[in-house]
Structure 1
Amino acid sequence: MATTAGPAQGYSYARPSGLAGGVLDLATSGGTTLAGPQAHPHFFSGVLTRPAPAAAALLGLADVARTRYFQPRPTGFRDPVVTCNGDRLRLESFSACGGVYARLDVLQAGMDGEVRERGTTNVDVNGPLREALARVGGGDPLHFAVGAEELVVTTGDGAVVEKKVPLPDRWLRGFAEVQVITAGFDPRAELAAADAVRFLRALPARTRGPMWAVPAGRTLRLGSRPVPGAVCLPGAERLRTMLPLLRFATGLRAYGPPATAASGPLSSVWELELPGMRYVLALSPETDRGFSGEGAVLDALAGDEVAADADLLGALLAFEPRVEPDLLAERSGLDLARTRAALTQLGTSGRVGFDAAEAAFFHRELPYDPSRVAALNPRLRAARELMGAVRFTAPDVALVPGSDQDRQVRFTGDAARCTCPWWAKYRGDRGPCKHVLAARLVRDGAAVPAGGAR
């Protein structure tokens, strides 16, 4: 699969992150707090009460960010996104290929200190820091700071530490896609510590095609075919960053959508429970298929009303660790269905994520311009260009121009079918085609873009 890296996003760090004298200090850049944007926010100072698993999990997160699981080749460092939600710290990253989402949740039991601010930023993870983390043992608590007291620390020539980090557009699209996809997952399996260790250590180093993990007593049995209740494990080697964490593991949970005997490859979430923290990996349906290609966000990006509702809800968010739809509906005056749709819209711009362990959204602010999300979806752009030529021949049937002939879109409630080759190939598994999107936009009364007459 050919990929194109997005433009490099420049981060200005006051100084590099480092680990010295038992103090792990993560330098921040360009964050958003409750008080608004800050150049170098300071979120937390204290200790991580379980230093060895914390250091190993941070290394796992960094390893995911620099790994290309499909057609492996060397990549540089990419900086994790960190959110302080008050009672926990969440560190998130994507693999270089966009097919693995990784998150480390340091929970209240795993940290002890002062929360200076709530918000989101990038943190510097560099080579020397990785080497230092690899030497952390299980002795004294690890002193931990996200951000520094000083906002500017200069080098010998008086310049702040600068580095250009290529943060591809596929990361932004992946963050948008993964929360929409995983929000529909349910718990499928839970293994105790010893069973989790045996299962993960027995995984093959390389697989061809997806495997299926089927609950079998206290453990999971791997098979090559889907059955009801199974969890898809596409590319078992993508769980390998969990192996160094197994000596600390207290359990393993797997989440996924319902599977049937006819299911194709599916995404899944794998959560390793650690003392005071959770290490989470979400896997795309295939190793050569990143989350940025799923198309799950397209319906959420399409509607004008949902976008307006999302703007309203966005103003009410305050970096909560759990975003409660019922409470947001009450505060905003929207009904629950519109509130949930608006939360999905907020997720498409990276403003909320989803925690499968708690079946809840959480607030964060990615360091991107939210307007870029829609621009990164060529199907949505193409659909908007087609809107002016959509013709409804019945309330539930529309004709939309195709490359060689009109395509018929037929609605059945919220579902839709199309006669185009894209729909025939994927059957909606990778989101709606451009013809369905265009017809839905017209049906729902969205404004025709300038230059396109209906």
Structure 2
Amino acid sequence: MATESLSYKYNSASTIENKNGNENLLLSKFNEVEKGNSPCFFWGKLNNPYELSRCLITLSNVVQSSFNLSPFQMALLKDPIVTAGNNQIRFEGFSHCAGVYARVDILENGQDGEFIENGTTNVDFNTPLISELGKIKKNDDLVLSVGQKEVGFHKEGESFIERKVPLPSKWIKGLTTVQHYFSESEYGLKLNRIQAIQLFKTIPSGKVKTDYFLIKRGNKYLFSPLKSKTAICIGGIHRLKLLQPLIPLINSLDIYPHKDSQSVTFILGFKELNFVFSVSRDFWRGFSGEGAALESLIEDLPDSLVKAFDNYSFTNQEFNPTLMAFEENIDVSKIENLSIKLSAMGLLGYDLAKNGFFYRRLPFKLERILSLNPRLKGAEKLLQENKVEITLHNDNEIEAKVEGSGVLHYVILKGDIQKCTCIWYSKNQGERGVCKHILAVKKKVKYD
């Protein structure tokens, strides 16, 4: 379906070439938005090629995995997003079901090269590329180039010149929720390599449908079906098996649970390299459908403000809320909603290790990205068709009637309580974001 994916072609395939004993990794780029004229964002040597190659293979395993989709849906390949800027390189992607998010961060000292231009693109992770990454050894020299090159992948007489792949819209929606959950996550604990190896040996076999909890028993950490007072809840724990090949290579493991247990994030620390891995609350619930940031997205922000941010952050490659509020004369109270809306556009990611946002320009036009959320579109349609009637409005309580398809829905907003008589609310009880009826009522009250 056209609304489910965005199809595009690479001009050439990603390549690994061997020149004078050095391995050169060339990642094919696609970009619908041209921010500059340079065909290359970064070119340089990677300081930890062995660990990086294993992280990229794990990232590829994540984006090719699924925990709730059919074999037909799993047959579609998905390719990671790459961002080069602010002296860092980031590879990120979701599982097919969008319930697992992974990101590889090459830190400033993890590379020795030149950032020719800041930018974001999508890369072709084909089977030959993954095979070649698996052959990288600890003493190999590896050069990374993020950009479009004339030479594709050529090896043993085979050439890979063009590849057509889809980018699911659920990835873009998932990025909104992931960044929002990251900003609401709190530092939990740090484990060394030995503790992490012991912990991952306690992952149960098979697919586990009940919650598991990370607990401490004596001097050891383990996963247990029994909850304790300080336990960290992990739904769909079998998804953590994707990390097992990396655990023996790490220096440290930091764990960040979401404040309401809607996700849990693991940061695997290597030398000058981080691997970020986050799982949604349950394996059948993808980040793309959670709607955690919907209420912040109802605020109308002027295009001029978005463009001002885009230009400012593209130049500086970071998001400093206080500085931007001062320089652009923005009310500080609007900054939080601005950051959430900009995350929804793909312009911001969140770095838990640094406790701050980083700039990311998805390679698609903003008007395409902004059209992807059905509940926001549904709320706007209800308002345009004048189907929202406010029946009570005072300082502490709002009541409204919202016309549906042959039925009248009743909405009540009282303090932190938000209720609606629709099927969505009855099924989810607000755990996956509010329904379109509550969104429409809130926006009507805000702007009437």
- TM-score, normalised via structure 1 length: 0.87
Q: Spell out, residue by residue over 1:5-39, the C-alpha distance to the aligned partner (whole angstroms, 9 max, x if none).
A: 82342132344322424323223323489x8155x
Q: Percent identity?
A: 30
Q: Does 1:440 align with 2:442?
A: yes
- CA distance in 2 between counterparts of 1:360 and 1:111 reads 22
- CA distance in 2 between counterparts of 1:161 and 1:245 reads 32
Gaps of 5+ in 2: none
Name the SS of the counterpart of 1:300 in structure 2: helix
Is the Cα contact below 8 Å between 1:6 and 1:166 reproduced in 2?
Answer: no
Name the counterpart of 2:215: 214
Question: CA shift at 1:250, angstroms?
Answer: 0.7
Is the Cα contact below 8 Å between 2:14 and 2:123 reproduced in 1?
Answer: no
Give the counterpart letter for 2:443 in structure 1.
L
Question: CA shift at 1:427, angstroms?
Answer: 2.2
Name the counterpart of 1:196: 196
- CA distance in 1 between counterparts of 2:200 and 2:120 reads 32
Write the mapping of 1:329-344 to structure 2, written as runs, cut at 5 A. Answer: 329-344=325-340
Name the counterpart of 1:270: 266
User: Using a 3 Å threshold, how does the CA distance of structure 1 residues 161 and 193 change in structure 2: closer, same or farther?
Assistant: same
Give the counterpart letter for 1:382 in structure 2.
G
Name the counterpart of 1:136: 136
User: Using a 3 Å threshold, how does the CA distance of structure 1 residues 306 and 397 change in structure 2: closer, same or farther?
Assistant: farther
Is the Cα contact below 8 Å between 1:26 and 1:147 reproduced in 2?
Answer: yes
- CA distance in 2 between counterparts of 1:183 and 1:346 reads 14
Q: Does 1:392 align with 2:390?
A: yes
Is the Cα contact below 8 Å between 2:189 and 2:254 reproduced in 1?
Answer: yes
- CA distance in 2 between counterparts of 1:50 and 1:398 reads 59
Is the Cα contact below 8 Å between 1:19 and 1:133 reproduced in 2?
Answer: no
Question: CA shift at 1:209, angstroms?
Answer: 2.5
Is the Cα contact below 8 Å between 1:313 and 1:342 reproduced in 2?
Answer: no
Is the Cα contact below 8 Å between 2:27 and 2:123 reproduced in 1?
Answer: yes
Query: After alignment, is 385-394 or 72-81 more displaced?
Result: 72-81
Corresponding pairs, count: 433
Name the counterpart of 1:90: 90
Question: CA shift at 1:311, angstroms?
Answer: 4.1
Write the mapping of 1:62-211 to structure 2, written as runs, cut at 5 A. Answer: 62-71=60-69, 73=71, 74-147=74-147, 150=149, 161-206=161-206, 207-211=208-212
Give the counterpart letter for 1:286 in structure 2.
D
Question: CA shift at 1:101, angstroms?
Answer: 0.9
Name the counterpart of 1:358: 354
Question: CA shift at 1:71, angstroms?
Answer: 4.5
Q: Spell out, residue by residue over 1:266-314, the C-alpha distance to the aligned partner (whole angstroms, 9 max, x if none).
A: 2111111111111111111111111111112322332213776444423
Question: CA shift at 1:423, angstroms?
Answer: 2.1
Is the Cα contact below 8 Å between 1:298 and 1:432 reproduced in 2?
Answer: yes
Name the counterpart of 2:420: 418
Name the SS of the counterpart of 1:29 in structure 2: coil
Name the counterpart of 1:323: 319
User: Using a 3 Å threshold, how does the CA distance of structure 1 residues 8 and 290 change in structure 2: closer, same or farther?
Assistant: same
Q: Does 1:248 align with 2:246?
A: no
Is the Cα contact below 8 Å between 2:198 and 2:221 reproduced in 1?
Answer: no
User: Using a 3 Å threshold, how does the CA distance of structure 1 residues 406 and 5 change in structure 2: closer, same or farther?
Assistant: closer
Question: CA shift at 1:417, angstroms?
Answer: 2.5
Q: Spell out, residue by residue over 1:204-261, the C-alpha distance to the aligned partner (whole angstroms, 9 max, x if none).
A: 23322221223556653323355554322222222223222123201111112235xx
- CA distance in 2 between counterparts of 1:164 and 1:8 reads 11
Is the Cα contact below 8 Å between 2:198 and 2:222 reproduced in 1?
Answer: no
Is the Cα contact below 8 Å between 1:319 and 1:364 reproduced in 2?
Answer: no
Give the counterpart letter for 1:300 in structure 2.
S
Name the counterpart of 1:450: none
Is the Cα contact below 8 Å between 1:301 and 1:374 reproduced in 2?
Answer: no
Name the SS of the counterpart of 2:29 in structure 1: strand
From 44, 56, 59, the counterpart of 2:42: 44
Question: CA shift at 1:141, angstroms?
Answer: 3.3
Is the Cα contact below 8 Å between 1:5 and 1:170 reproduced in 2?
Answer: no
Gaps of 5+ in 1: 260-264, 447-454
- CA distance in 2 between counterparts of 1:200 and 1:254 reads 13
Is the Cα contact below 8 Å between 1:211 and 1:222 reproduced in 2?
Answer: yes
- CA distance in 1 between counterparts of 2:302 and 2:239 reads 35
Question: CA shift at 1:78, angstroms?
Answer: 2.3
Name the SS of the counterpart of 1:317 in structure 2: helix
Name the SS of the counterpart of 1:375 in structure 2: coil
Give the counterpart letter for 1:46 in structure 2.
G
- CA distance in 1 between counterparts of 2:225 and 2:13 reads 49
- CA distance in 1 between counterparts of 2:204 and 2:69 reads 18
User: Using a 3 Å threshold, how does the CA distance of structure 1 residues 311 and 303 change in structure 2: closer, same or farther?
Assistant: farther
- CA distance in 2 between counterparts of 1:153 and 1:134 reads 19
Question: CA shift at 1:47, angstroms?
Answer: 1.5
User: Using a 3 Å threshold, how does the CA distance of structure 1 residues 238 and 22 change in structure 2: closer, same or farther?
Assistant: farther
User: Using a 3 Å threshold, how does the CA distance of structure 1 residues 398 and 312 change in structure 2: closer, same or farther?
Assistant: farther
Name the SS of the counterpart of 2:338 in structure 1: helix
Name the counterpart of 1:449: none
- CA distance in 1 between counterparts of 2:280 and 2:17 reads 33
User: Using a 3 Å threshold, how does the CA distance of structure 1 residues 165 and 222 change in structure 2: closer, same or farther?
Assistant: same
